[in-house]
Each structure stands twice: as structure tokens, then as C-alpha cells.
Amino acid sequence: MMSRIERDHNIFLVADDDLFVRSLVSRALKDYGKIVELTNGNDVVDRFLEISPDVLFLDIHLPEKSGLDILDEIIKKNKDAFVVMLSADSHLGNVVITRKAGAKGFITKPFTKQKLLETVRRCPSFKTP
């Protein structure tokens, strides 16, 4: 499989059980790359390893498996993974825990397109279309 850096397009993986949140991310980033959406925590690690997204937007509270557990698994497999946590539950403890665990960012719901774009532009493999 081609690495994120070698690929000529961006891939964003959005793992959130809220259809509205997934559609907000998809609409905001559709002109910047391919969007893959997941609603269930059980599928995230396998899909991440399969598609090697430039950015994974990961909800803390997912059905079947916690976003914190998923983050831990992904960072153990790929310490350079660009994982950005999404949550309305943005108290300082969650932000600190996820950053210490390897997340590259934390975006509080609701969010703006501008906030998403600022975040993806920090990703080393992000390609401007």
C-alpha cells in the first residue's frame, strides 16, 4: 500500500455515530480529499490500517468501543498517526488525556469548517488541492 506521503490525494476517516457531525465534516472537507465515514468503534482500527488516512477524526464516545481505546490501539500501531479527537465533552481532563495518548488535536463540537481546515493543514501529509 502507498504511504500517506506518497499518495497524491488526501483521505479523511471520520468515526462518529452522529450523522449530523459526519455530514458537517464531509461537507467541509469534500473538496480536499476522499471522506470515509464510520459509525461504530469496532471498525475503526481495521479501517485505519486498511486505508491509512491522512487524518482520523475520532469521537470519544462511540458505540461498541471507546475513542480513547481506539486512539491507544492506533498509536501503538502507528505513532505518527494524525488523530484528531471530536467531542462535545471537552473538559480539560479529556483534552489532556487524549493529547498525552498521542492525539494531534481536539476539536470541540459544534465546530466550524475553518477549525477543521486549520487542523488538517497541520497534518504533515496533507496535500492542498
Q: What are phi and psi of 7, to 5 degrees?
A: -65, 150
Encode the chain (129 residues) as per-residue pLDDT tens digits.
567 777 889 999 999 999 999 999 999 999 999 999 999 999 999 999 999 999 999 999 999 999 999 999 999 999 999 999 998 876 777 788 999 999 999 999 889 999 999 999 999 999 988
Cell numbers of 87, please?
467531542
Which residue from 85, 75, 44, 13 is spatially nearest to 94, judged by alpha carbons?
85
CA atoms within 13 A on the CB side of 5: 3
Which residue from 42, 9, 38 is spatially nearest to 26, judged by alpha carbons?
38
CATH number of 11-120: 3.40.50.2300
In the chain, where the domains are located: 11-120
